[in-house]
């Protein structure tokens, strides 16, 4: 126990009123106690000891991390210390990927080498394409991607040697490089089009757009404004500390299952409409509202809790999501190229009403990253099923950075929470004829 700046001690005294005993528990990192320190609190020697109960992990830190910092009250997001606004304005996605994975911005030669590494690994084994060919024409793009990443793991059995840092690096580069290829294959399959293979002279975003939209032998001309907008969206989605999917990545990773299994599990978590599936849900919501006249009835329904205003609210941000402000600006630039998305007016009006309405204000409900991203994706001609896929591509970098950090964590242990058992006490089996 140390003295803190206010002259007090960095510890907590807990008095158990059941026994009258007092316990002193260390406070770490400002205001954190270790849950295991509670275990000493017992009524008697046979007692298991005190636990904390935290469904949804609302007040539980599961790791020490150096990757991403969020101050939800102030709307701050930083990767490795760098504000998201500066990265979105001045950096590229692969530069940000290098930063997240290595902790520092790359020098020019480090970036050149990294870009070469990623480019070198963009192709996938033809058999993966054959696996993907087996999906029905209307299979959801995200389900196809989740399965394909898990299937990709069968080509790299050595990937399960998770304690070899060099091997981890190789798998990370493979996955970052191949995600756009697999994602584009899902789209082409959905459209009934033959695949377009990676063009390694293009940037990460341009190569992806080319694999999606090229038709026939002619080179698809990637619009630089669209390429930059997609690169910015990738930067904004690259990491977001210990959210649902990252936690899934770490939980699966903690059993040493290997990055392909962990990444497909993380993608499964991302797919849900309360997480990365929200951009798809926002667009469907805006389409359903359809006209400005329907907005008041829709808002009333939300306030009666019949449904949620998708793209609003966040577990951590209790202010405007900084990513939403950047996306709103990027949307204007995209609409200059593609024409304005008519659903934008409905979105803007919803935001205006919600930011003034006490229901939303009192609950700190502000637009999150997904509120405007779907409008950009739609303007770029992506079908809604591709929206979570577009989230998963850049987030793979964050998941893998978090997994790599976990593998080096001296406190790494298999994730295994406790439960409070509420079921029956022991009882004897009842034969069928007596039930």
Binding site for ligand CMC (CB under 6 A): 243, 274-276, 278, 302, 305, 308-315, 363, 365, 368-370
Question: Least distance to ligand CMC from the beta carbon of 274, Å?
Answer: 4
Question: Least distance to ligand CMC from the beta carbon of 308, Å?
Answer: 4
Q: Which residue is nearest to ligand CMC (CB)?
A: 313
Question: Least distance to ligand CMC from the beta carbon of 377, Å?
Answer: 14
- Residues 125, 275, 357, 409: which is the catalytic one? 275
Give whichever of 215 and 348 is closer to ligand CMC, judged by the CB atom: 348
In this structure, are residues 253 and 314 in contact, taking their beta carbons and an 8 Å threshold?
no
Rg (CA), the chain: 24
Give whichever of 117 and 280 is closer to ligand CMC, judged by the CB atom: 280
User: Is 275 considered catalytic here?
Assistant: yes
Give whichever of 99 and 302 is closer to ligand CMC, judged by the CB atom: 302
Question: Least distance to ligand CMC from the beta carbon of 73, Å?
Answer: 14
Give whichever of 175 and 278 is closer to ligand CMC, judged by the CB atom: 278
Give whichever of 59 and 194 is closer to ligand CMC, judged by the CB atom: 59
- Residues 314, 321, 358, 428: which is the catalytic one? 314
User: Is 190 considered catalytic here?
Assistant: no
Give whichever of 258 and 388 is closer to ligand CMC, judged by the CB atom: 388
- Residues 370, 404, 409, 428: which is the catalytic one? 370
- Interacting residues of 23 by C-beta distance below 8 A, sequence separation 6+: 13, 14, 15, 16, 40, 41
| In the block, residue with structure tokens 């990192």 | 29
What does each C-alpha distance from 365 to 85, 161, 310, 316, 326 come to in angstroms? 21, 43, 11, 11, 18
User: Is 370 considered catalytic here?
Assistant: yes
Question: Least distance to ligand CMC from the beta carbon of 301, Å?
Answer: 10
Question: Least distance to ligand CMC from the beta carbon of 275, Å?
Answer: 4
Question: Least distance to ligand CMC from the beta carbon of 74, Å?
Answer: 17
Question: Least distance to ligand CMC from the beta carbon of 14, Å?
Answer: 28
Give whichever of 104 and 300 is closer to ligand CMC, judged by the CB atom: 300
CA 113/CA 167 separation, integer angstroms: 17
Give whichever of 72 and 83 is closer to ligand CMC, judged by the CB atom: 72
Indicate which residues carry an active-site annotation. 275, 314, 370
């Amino acid at each position: 126990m140390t003295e803190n700046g206010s002259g007090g001690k960095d510890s907590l005294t807990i008095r158990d009123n059941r026994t009258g005993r007092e316990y002193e528990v260390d406070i770490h990192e400002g205001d954190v106690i270790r849950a295991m320190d509670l275990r000493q609190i017992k009524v008697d020697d046979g007692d298991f000891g005190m636990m904390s109960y935290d469904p949804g992990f609302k007040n539980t830190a599961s790791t020490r991390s150096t990757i991403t910092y969020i101050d939800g009250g102030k709307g701050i997001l930083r990767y490795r210390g760098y504000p998201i606004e500066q990265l979105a304005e001045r950096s590229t996605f692969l530069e940000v990927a290098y930063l997240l994975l290595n902790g520092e911005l790359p020098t020019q030669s480090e970036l050149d080498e990294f870009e070469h590494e990623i480019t070198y690994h963009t192709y996938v084994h033809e058999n993966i394409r054959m696996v993907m060919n087996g999906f029905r024409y209307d299979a959801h793009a995200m389900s196809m991607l989740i399965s394909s990443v898990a299937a990709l793991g069968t080509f790299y059995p050595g990937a399960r040697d998770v304690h070899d840092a060099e091997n981890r690096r190789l798998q990370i580069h493979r996955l970052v490089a191949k995600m756009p290829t697999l994602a584009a294959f899902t789209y082409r399959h959905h459209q009934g089009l033959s695949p377009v293979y990676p063009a390694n002279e293009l940037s990460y975003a341009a190569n992806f757009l080319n694999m999606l939209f090229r038709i026939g032998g002619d080179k698809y001309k990637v619009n630089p404004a669209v390429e930059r907008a997609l690169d910015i969206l990738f930067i904004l989605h690259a990491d977001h500390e210990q959210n649902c999917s990252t936690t899934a990545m770490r939980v699966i990773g903690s059993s040493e299952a290997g990055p392909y299994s962990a990444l497909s599990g993380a993608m499964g978590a991302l797919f849900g409409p309360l997480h990365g599936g929200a951009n798809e849900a926002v667009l469907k919501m805006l389409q359903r509202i359809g006209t400005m006249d329907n907005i008041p009835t829709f808002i009333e329904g939300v306030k009666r809790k019949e449904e949620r205003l998708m793209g609003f609210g966040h577990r951590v941000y209790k202010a405007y999501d900084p990513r939403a402000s950047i996306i709103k600006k990027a949307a204007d630039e995209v609409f200059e190229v593609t024409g304005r998305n008519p659903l934008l007016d409905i979105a803007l009006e919803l935001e205006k009403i919600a930011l003034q309405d006490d229901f939303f204000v009192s609950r700190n409900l502000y637009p999150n990253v997904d509120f405007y991203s779907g409008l950009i994706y739609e303007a770029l001609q992506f079908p809604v099923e591709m929206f979570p896929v577009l989230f998963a591509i850049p987030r793979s970098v964050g998941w893998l950075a978090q997994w790599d950090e976990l593998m080096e964590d001296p406190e790494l242990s298999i994730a295994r929470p406790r439960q409070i058992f509420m079921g029956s006490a022991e009882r004897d089996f009842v034969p069928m004829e007596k039930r």
